[in-house]
Amino acid sequence: MLQVLSNGKYKSAEHVVGTSSTNSRVSLPIFVLPTQTTKIAPLAQVVEKDGIALYREFIFGDYMNNVYENTAEDKKPLDFAKINST
């Protein structure tokens, strides 16, 4: 969600676990769960500064449905919300 709100300034990271016998690892999960009907879109101030929105507004429930439907297809969850610049 932060990637959309920031209009792509902050990227979503894929969860990958790496282990090392010499270095310790710290994970800090942050969970955000809007209601199913919450509208998600780039913040107006960010779009104004950037000059163009990279993501369309969408409903969180639609996003979650897309995540569950496309998990096995190796698609990035936010691809469905990207605005093509063609």
Query: Using an 8 Å Cβ cutoff, are 40 and 60 in contact?
Result: yes
Helix (H/G/I), strand (E/B), else coil: 29 = coil
pLDDT digits (tens, 9 = 90+) for 6-44: 999 988 766 666 777 787 777 777 777 899 999 999 999
Is the pLDDT at 67 greater than 80? The verdict is yes
